[in-house]
Each structure stands twice: as structure tokens, then as C-alpha cells.
Structure 1
Amino acid sequence: MFSIFDISLQLNGFPIRKAKSDLDKIVALSTEEKKQFIENQKQAIVEYHLQNNPFYQKLVGSKEYKNWEDLPVLNKSNLQSPLQNRLSKGFSAKNSYINKTSGSSGTPFIFAKDKYTHALTWASNMYRFGWFGINFNRSLQARFYGIPLDFIGYKKERFKDFLSKRFRFPVFDLSDSALEKVLKKFEKNKFEYLNGYTSSIVLFAKFLRKRNLILKEICPTLKVCMVTSEMLFEDDKILLESQFGIPIINEYGASELDLIAFESPQKEWLVNSETLFVEILDENNRVLPCGEAGRIVITSLFNKAHPFIRYDIGDIGILDEKSTLEKPILKQLIGRTNDVALLPSGKKSPGLTFYYVTKSIIEDDGNVKEFVIKQTKIDNFEIEYVSETELDLVQIQKIKEAITLYLEPNLHFAFIRKKTLERTARGKLKQFTSFL
């Protein structure tokens, strides 16, 4: 079979064959060998950047270090300086892979990867998707993502989609008439998997439920659905499984790094320990034991072009108590560090708590398609929602009672019905935002 995807990577200077071969060797390591590999690679990448990256030398304050825990934690504000100031010696925009983060954390920045590391990212994707019989060179993907709306950006993205065996459904219009066209594509094409933003795929599943349709019956070639970039709640997962008739896989990744965690066929959310090293830290940058919630801090073990060493990605999560160095398991992804609600009592609560409590009531009857919560003052919140009919006083009262029970009393809510919800430039839906 003609491997157009691999060939296009190779032609663009990304050594995918070597990356695949090297990743296979890492995966094949024994438990003890894997532990040693991780420690060696951590040390090698730090020493490389201390010798070759003035930006990282300045951050550390020296060209030497004694303990891993003494290394500074890199955050996104550190990275909002011009890219050329952050590149290692010998690297430039011409010989590196350059891209921009989505900015869903509110702090977008431009980053670089050396071409081998970018090839490793693709090899890591291919390896994990392969657990479910998906081949990037052959399997047709139904892609629910944003797309640039300018002419050149749009054409460029469509061409990349062609090379990558995927058909993109832009997520900016998810009306019933648009989803009707999506459904027609599934009737005509032999898609093997769905991939994309959770909220968009959930909306498609609700559309199917309303029509009493199972996607696998419409498109029998479907094998699996991977959701990414937004929280997947358990009830949404159940909805997707019932309306699609295929396994639903939870994916967690970052464009500047790699796939961070990917659900295995054994239903474990396995952390990528082949190309990344993941730590959970408290507010004082101390490593927390498995089972405790903290900041997710990640080291890219191979990227020589740009240091991502002890990089605070801006998310809060918990590693499973069963985790080991060579086989870490993500127990829970709680949300973003900047999505925390500060309440009048002084209590801090993850914004997703509001979303989750409200969701359990608001979607009971299938009337509300989607919603977001915004904190405008310390005791004031707005709930914007898209629905067939307006929320009634009984539903609103139920939501207020649930929030009083789970969070605290005397919070004020405005309910605003909209035709569509605002998404980021890339099409993501931010479920909770604090404007404090």
C-alpha cells in the first residue's frame, strides 16, 4: 500500500522511519531498562540545554545542576518572548518545526521542535492509534476540528487533510442542517474512526439520538472514536458509546509536546513515558504522591531545539496509585489551573465543578444542546446555553439548589439563551471562564 502520509513527512525532512524504529526499541525495553532509559534521557536533555541554550542557562542560573527537583518549573509566561531568544544553538525557523499553541489556556506562544522530535511525535501517535487497528496511511478519519477561515490557511489545511487521509468537518457551525450534511458524508464514505473536540462530537451524538440513529449502522467500517482537547464526562462517554456503537477513547495531548495520555484497550489512561516525563507538583513545586491532585508538569525527553523541561502545562490532574516510573497512569484530569472559581467565602473551586453540577440537571431531557459558565464577579455567574426551548423556572431552581449544595449559597446566576456559543479561533469550547 502506498504510504503517502509517511512519505510526505519524510520529504518534509521529518525522519519518520528512524523515529518509528527508535520508538519500537523504547517500547520493547524491560521494566528495569525503561527506568534507566527515562533517567538517562532526563539527564541528557537537561545537560544538552544547559550547554546549548542561553535562554535555559539563564533560567537555571548556571550551566550545572545537582538535583532534578532543584531545576526551575517553566511556565507559559516564561515562553512569551521572541522564539529566536529561546532556540538552542544551531537551530532556526528553517531547520525546525515551528507552530503556535492554541491559546486555550489564555496564554498562546510560538514553540519549536527539532525535526526528529516532531517525527517522534507522529510515531507516538501512530503507535497509540495502532492499538485500535488504525493506520495513518490507510484509515480514513472523520475529523471534528476547527479550520483557518482565510483562503490560504483553509487550502493548506485541506491539503494536509488529503495527505493525512482525513475529512474535516469544521466545528464552527453545528446546527441541525450542518449535522445533516455530516451524516450524509458518513453514509457515503468508509470512515474508520472519528477524532476531534469532545463538545463537537457530543453534539453530533445528541443529533443522532434525536433521530434514533446508530452511526455504526450507517457507516459499518467505523472502528473507534478518539476525543481530545476538552473534558470527557462519564455520561457523555455513555451517550457516545450508545449512539456510535464503537469504543470511545479519551486522548490528552498538547501540540508543543506530544500525546500525553491515551486510553488503552484495557481502559487505562496510559501516560506517554516513551517521549515524555510527567510529574504532579504542589504549589511549592514539590512532587506529590500518586493519588493526590496537583499541577501537571512535563519534560520533553528529546526536544533539542527548544527546552520543555519541568514545563507547567497549566492543567491539574491525578496520577493513579498503581502508577510506576515506567508505566504512569492518569487517574483524572481535573481542568486548567486558570479555570478556578474564587467564591465569596474565600473557597477556591475548579470551574468544572460548576459545569458538572449544572450539566447533571440541565441536560436531563435533551432540550439543552450545550452550555458554558462565565464568572463575572465573585458572586455572579452567567450560564449561556443553546436549546430548543427556554429553561423553565423549575429547572433554574434545581440548578441553584444543586450549586448551593455542592459549592455554597448566595451565588447569583443569569441564564442567557443563545443561538450558538462562542468558540476559540481553533473551534474549542471553553466550558468555564473566570473574568475576575
Structure 2
Amino acid sequence: MKEAKAELDKIIRLNDEQHHAFIENKKRDIAEFHLKHNAFYRNLNTSAEYTWWKNLPVLTKKNLQVPLQQRLSEGFPETKVYINKTSGSSGDPFIFAKDKYSHALTWASNIYRFGWYGIDFNEALQARFYGIPLDFMGYKKERLKDWLAHRYRFPIFDLSDKVLDDFLKHFRTKKFDYINGYTSSIVLFAKFLKRKNILLKDICPTLKVCMVTSEMLFDDDKNLLETQFGCPVVNEYGASELDLIAFQNPQDEWQVNAETLFVEILDEHNNVLPYGEEGRIVITSLFNKAHPFIRYDIGDIGILDEKSTLKKPLLKKLVGRTNDIALLPSGKKSPGLTFYYVTKSIIEDDGNVKEFIIIQTKKDTFEIDYVSEKILAPEQIAKIEAAIAQYLEPGLHFTFNRKTTLERSNRGKLKQFRSLL
């Protein structure tokens, strides 16, 4: 960690010209390393020699769904690397590896960015809103890891008022420095506080900041969190197989990690798009020698801001996942979160609905599952259907299903839109 922190600090101090040279050298170095020492990556290329960056293939998660042993580089056996698995929220889960130095740089990057908000990983107590394994050994192992990492976990599979009231008791008795976890669960906790007319900072005055991750954070939800928590709310975007990809800085910019990663925005033909244009987010891990993540299509769609530079890229917009696209009868394609956003603006007006998801079952048919205190009124349903007809297209059919809880992933993520097509 000491060596990783020193290297990260050196990278951060580079000027624009030096950083440009750093990126170009690291791109070439990591590509040449894997072409020479990784048979799996070499077989994906048309040549074993590095010629030009744009000639390198764009990797997808499906490319990587072969046994891990086949993907590891020479000199990096499974016993000497960090191994984990992706959440599977994209529909394509797989096991991955990082060499220990690359993994240390990941933590150095986390420590650096959390430090923007006065969070010291060695001392700060985290309120962690995440899932947890439910088997005995898995549960105990995760609790031990939490204790060692100075965090207290709030399991999010049951978010009833009774459970949220128990959460609140911990905030009264523990000196939490920050909140970190899945957006939907933290938003639900904030809605509970609003109903109770409680400002979290009043009962937990040590609270400095809230970091949300893994799920879309809408502006109105961010306003709700900041109001009910009484502290800044920071939006982070990351991937377990990579690093923190983007992290909201104190100037309210979504700053992309340009120290350990190289981020490109590509069109459907793998051409690099200029800043300001929407495309596929493709990422290179500049330091991971154990496993190739070179021009890796993470499965998300986004836009880099026109103000971006190579040293300080800014994520202007994260549109959604490539597999979260709704295919409509007219032939139109629309990000599924468009449905979610339009519906959200109406469905939560009176505070009745706690959370909801949208599932596309046919090109013209959608199901909306929601958790609420009382069933949706016909006039609300009519407003939702009219708004979607206006923003997307008319003639779509909806079924509204009131639920006691919504289905989450085994890690506790809530997938807001899902297409079954």
C-alpha cells in the first residue's frame, strides 16, 4: 500500500503534458505485457505484436466467461492474486483477478477520493447499506470483514418500517462518519426519515457525507438525501473488476479516474467518439498484469463532458446499461431508465409509493411492480400512461402490480428497469 500510495501521488502531480505521456506509455506497456505473457489475450488479437491502439480488440464480458485459470498471465497463479466476482447485474457475471499491486492501487485511489470529503479509511466509521450472504459462514465472514474495515453493515433485503426503525437506533448510538451503499436502499431510508420528520444529522452529528453507488441517482433523490441527512451526497460509479471509474468531486463534477484507468467512448463500430457524444463506455486497467482488461466494454452507455481533458476527464452523463434498452413497436429504441424517470416524476408525488421497478414483457407491454401504503389511484395510472405516450410513443400497455417487497439481486441491488425481450 505504501508503494501504491506513492505512485498514485506521483501520477496526480503530473502536469497535462506529462500526464498525456504517462497515459500513452501505460497503454502501450499494458498491451505489450499481455500480448507477450497472456495466451488468452494474445489469441483474441490478430497479431502478437503491438502496432496501434485502435487495432486492439474491444473485450466484452462474454469474452471473459471462460475459466479464470485460462485468463491469467504467466507468473500470476491463482494463489498469488486477488480474486473476486462481478455482481451479475449486467446479466453476464464472471470471476476476475487483479495482481496485488494493482489491487493496492485500487485502494489507494479509493482513499484519495474519499479524502476529498475528510474521510480517513483508517479511522472513519462507515454505515454500510449493502446486501450480505445469508448462509451462516458467509454471514460471519462478511461481518468479520466489516469489523476489520471499520464499518457497520445494514442488510437491505428487508426494508420495512420496523427494520428501518432498528437502523435508526444504531445512528443514535454509533458515531458514523459516512454512509456508503446502494442508492435505492439509502433513498428508502431517507423517505422513512422524512415521514418521521427526522434529520439524521441531529441524531448522528458526526455524519460528514453520504456516498451512493451501483444504481442511478436522480436529482430529486439527491435533494431528498441531502435534506434528510444534513450532509453532502456524493455519486460514485465503479466496477468491482476495475476501480472507481468516476467520483463526484467537491466542485460537483463527476471526475473520471485517469490515474489507474483509461476511459474511451466508442460508437457501434468501435470508433472513438469526441467529447460530448454518447456511446459505449470502454475502459482499460492500466496496471493489472494478472488479468487483461484492455479496451473492456463494461456494458454502460455514457457521455464525457466537452470540458474534459486527458488528465481530468469528466463524466457528463451515465445513460444506462446497453442491455437496459427498451425496444418499442415503432422500431424506436429507448433507454429503459426513460420509462423509470417519467414514471417516477408522477408515481411518487404524494409519497405513497416507496419504490418501484419496470419490466418489459413484450414490445408494447410493461409491468410496473411497486411497494406502497395504498393501491395506485386510477387517475395516477392515467397520468403515467399519458406521460409515457408523450415522451416515448402511444399505444403501450401497462399492468400495475402492488407488492410487499421488490426482487433484488443476491447482493441487494435493485434493477430499476429490466427487459425480458
In the TM superposition, what whole-angstrom CA distance separates every residue of 1:330-376 from its partner, at most 9, and x where no partner exists?
Answer: 00101000000000000000000000000000000100000000000
Match of 2:159? 174
Q: Secondary structure at the match of 1:78?
A: coil
Shift of 1:62: 1.7
Match of 2:31? 46
Aligned pairs for 1:9-48 (under 5 A) are 16-48=1-33
Aligned pairs for 1:102-121 (under 5 A) are 102-121=87-106
Match of 1:410? 395
Which residue identity lines up with residue 55 of structure 1 in the other structure? Answer: F
Q: Secondary structure at the match of 1:99?
A: strand
Structure 2 gap ranges (5+): none
Q: 1:199 aligns with which of 178, 181, 184?
A: 184
Verify: 1:137 aligned to 2:122, yes or no: yes
Verify: 1:216 aligned to 2:201, yes or no: yes
Q: Secondary structure at the match of 1:167?
A: strand
Are the counterparts in 1 of residues 39 and 73 from structure 2 also a CA contact under 8 Å? yes
Shift of 1:65: 2.8
Q: Secondary structure at the match of 2:79?
A: coil
Verify: 1:264 aligned to 2:249, yes or no: yes
Are the counterparts in 1 of residues 16 and 310 from structure 2 also a CA contact under 8 Å? no
Shift of 1:61: 2.3
Are the counterparts in 1 of residues 64 and 94 from structure 2 also a CA contact under 8 Å? yes
Match of 1:400? 385
CA–CA separation in structure 2 for the residues paired with 1:146 and 1:92? 30
Match of 2:168? 183
Which residue identity lines up with residue 393 of structure 2 in the other structure? Answer: E
Q: 1:274 aligns with which of 259, 266, 269?
A: 259
Structure 1 gap ranges (5+): 1-15
CA–CA separation in structure 2 for the residues paired with 1:330 and 1:194? 23
In the TM superposition, what whole-angstrom CA distance separates every residue of 1:6-31 from its partner, at most 9, and x where no partner exists?
Answer: xxxxxxxxxx1111111111111111
CA–CA separation in structure 1 for the residues paired with 2:43 and 2:410? 34
Match of 1:334? 319
Are the counterparts in 1 of residues 199 and 229 from structure 2 also a CA contact under 8 Å? yes
Which residue identity lines up with residue 87 of structure 2 in the other structure? Answer: S
The size of the alignment, in residue pairs, is 421
Match of 1:10? none
Match of 1:8? none
Give the stretch that moved more between structures: 25-34 or 239-248.
Answer: 25-34
Q: Secondary structure at the match of 2:309?
A: coil
Shift of 1:257: 0.1
In the TM superposition, what whole-angstrom CA distance separates every residue of 1:149-177 from its partner, at most 9, and x where no partner exists?
Answer: 11111111111101111000001010000
CA–CA separation in structure 2 for the residues paired with 1:48 and 1:121? 20
CA–CA separation in structure 1 for the residues paired with 2:204 and 2:80? 42
CA–CA separation in structure 2 for the residues paired with 1:170 and 1:293? 36
CA–CA separation in structure 2 for the residues paired with 1:66 and 1:161? 46
In the TM superposition, what whole-angstrom CA distance separates every residue of 1:185-229 from its partner, at most 9, and x where no partner exists?
Answer: 000000000000000000000000001111111100000000000
Q: Structure 1 stretches (4+) deviating beyond 3 angstroms?
A: none
Which residue identity lines up with residue 204 of structure 1 in the other structure? Answer: F
Q: Superposition RMSD on alpha carbons, in Å? A: 0.5
Shift of 1:63: 1.1
Q: Secondary structure at the match of 1:422?
A: coil
Which residue identity lines up with residue 391 of structure 2 in the other structure? Answer: Y
Verify: 1:252 aligned to 2:237, yes or no: yes
Shift of 1:237: 0.4
Q: 1:291 aligns with which of 276, 293, 315?
A: 276
Match of 1:84? 69
Percent identity, aligned pairs only?
Answer: 73
